[in-house]
Amino acid sequence: MTDFIKQAAHVKPDANQLRLLTETPFYAFIHFSPNTYTDLEWGTGEEDPLIFNPVNLDCDGWCKAIKSAGMKGVVITAKHHDGFCLWQTKFTSHSMKSSPYKDGKGDIVKELSDACRRHGLKFGFYLSPWDRNCKLYGTPEYNDYYRGQLTELLTGYGEIFHVWFDGACGEGPNGKKQVYDFDSYFELIHKYQPNATIFSDRGPIRWCGNESGDARYAEWAVVPSELCPYSRIQTGAGPFNGDLSYMYNTNKEIGSLSNIMYSKGLVFAPSEVDMSIRPGWFYHENEAPHSLDRLFETYLRSVGGNTTFILNIPPRPDGTFDPQDIERLRELGEKINKSFAIDLAKNCDIKISPFNGSETQCIAEIDFKKKAEIKYLDFSENIAEGQRIESFIVQRRDDGRWIDCFEGTTVGARRIVSLGSITTDGLRIFVTASRDTPDFGKISVY
């Protein structure tokens, strides 16, 4: 049993997962399609391409707004479920070719990827497997069609950082459903964009299980291979012979010991929290952006909860962002910058010592020397080597006595603990359980 727990503690990210988690954990989503003009969320596939005409398309403006929030990349719906393609694909005319924009010569994937490079943002795309327009949908030939489109996007627009596979699989125009050949789609990505991360229901970057920005209380990046078969198995089977076929992203407990004990093997597959700045993924004039508090809270619980965060901003029919969204993004960036501006632990002694000689329990103690007002503890594990910490208690020093002020579970790539507002001259992270000797990354206090 303990052997298996130790193995679990050493399941590691691959280079792409590590880069996304530690360098690019916050990035933008753009949902743009005929839905923007029809006020729908799911198009029928029968929309007239003549309606798609973003006369003021402003990809530079999008990039500026996205950067103002502190995001580091952009993922656009190159094709949503309605099948309309935002680039000059040779596989269908249900695309920019038939739009009045730039007399059918427009290519929004090109305009946005060029703008991203000018603004130092990474670029990625969403190519919906479900296609309600393509006549081939529901036949084996559709997989060739899809691979053809995927290849165009992987080879024609420079470096791609993230490819987003939607899990939706509805009926196509002929009433049939498609059997998606994900293995072959993944192969193309590995071939043409080996540094890209891949989001799908089943990993290697996995869905958090809801679309409202609700991160898990305990988020493990190390999960049963039964849930994420697209990541490499790095351990033997758990000590109990069990069946985890019921497990899905919507379950509350995924990587906890009580689950992984029944697994056939463990993989590294961190979760991505996805939500839109407004209720819908596409622009609807009657909707307004979520409050700054809600967005900031989601940031704290996702980027600060061992997941990445993809935040959608829907362009308006004319191809610009709504000024309310631009302002909300600016406020969000400002709030993040201000909240994490001065690291009070930077010049402090941080002493890490085992608790009563234990290998898997320890105390990290920060001595501020004088009283300081603090709001956030922001710390990490050395995630390149795996995820270990099961539970911790945060304590503050009050007249020389240690008082509990927070109890938490997982840490991983980054854990932001909101402490309210406390004044103290010392803080401790007491790791009460860990799968192997805790291996801290950075410890900061704001």
Q: Which residues bind ligand FUL (CB under 6 A)?
A: 41, 166, 168, 274, 281
- Nearer CB in complex with ligand FUL: 215/260: 215
Question: Shortest Cβ distance from residue 176 to ligand FUL (Å)?
Answer: 19
Please report the beta strands in 88-234, taking only residues with DSSP state E, as ranges in sequence order. Answer: 122-127, 162-164, 197-200, 205-207, 222-224
| Shortest spacing between CB 275 and ligand FUL, in angstroms | 9
How many Å separate Cα 396 from the centre of its chain?
Answer: 32
Q: How far is the CB of 131 from ligand FUL (least distance, A)?
A: 12
Is 32 within 8 Å of 108 (Cβ atoms)? Answer: yes
Backbone angles phi, psi at 415, to 5 degrees: -130, 115
Give the pair of three-digit tokens for residue 118.
């000018």
Element (DSSP H or E) covering residue 335: helix 323-339
Residue 27 · residue 71 · CB < 8 Å: yes
Burial status of residue 3 (CB atoms within 10 A of its CB: 0-12, 13-18, 19 or more): exposed
The answer to whether residues 83 and 121 touch, using CB atoms and an 8 Å cutoff, is no
Q: Give the span between the Cα atoms of 226 and 371, in whole angstroms.
A: 49
- CA triplet 32, 42, 167: central angle to 5 degrees? 90
Q: Report strand pairing: 271-276 vs 307-312.
A: parallel
Q: Find the shortest distance in angstroms from Cβ 260 to ligand FUL.
A: 27
Strands 362-381 and 349-354: antiparallel
Task: Look up residue 224 and give its two tokens.
Answer: 């049963």
Give the shortest CB-274-to-ligand FUL separation in angstroms.
6
Nearest approach, Cβ of residue 71 and ligand FUL (Å): 16
- Nearer to ligand FUL by Cβ, of 29 and 62: the residue is 29
CB distance 369 to 425 below 8 Å: yes
Q: Tell me 291's DSSP state.
A: P
User: CB-wise, 42 or 402, nearer to ligand FUL?
Assistant: 42
Give the nearest distance from C-beta 316 to ligand FUL in angstroms.
18
Measured from the CB atom, the residue of 132 and 328 that comes closer to ligand FUL is: 132
Backbone angles phi, psi at 183, to 5 degrees: -55, -45
Q: How many angstroms separate the CA atoms of 219 and 254, rounded?
A: 8
Smallest gap from residue 281 Cβ to ligand FUL (A): 4
Q: Would you say 223 or 273 has its CB closer to ligand FUL?
A: 273
CB of 428 to ligand FUL, least distance (A): 41
**How far is 281 from 426, CA to CA, in rounded Å?**
44
Give 5 or 208: the residue with its C-beta nearer to ligand FUL: 208
Between 41 and 327, CB nearer to ligand FUL? 41
Instruction: Choose between 41 and 214: whose C-beta lies nearer to ligand FUL.
Output: 41
Minimum gap (Å) between residue 314 Cβ and ligand FUL: 11
The answer to whether 432 touches 391, Cβ cutoff 8 Å, is yes
Buried b vs exposed e over 83-93: b needs ≥16 C-beta within 10 Å?
Answer: bbbbbbbeebe
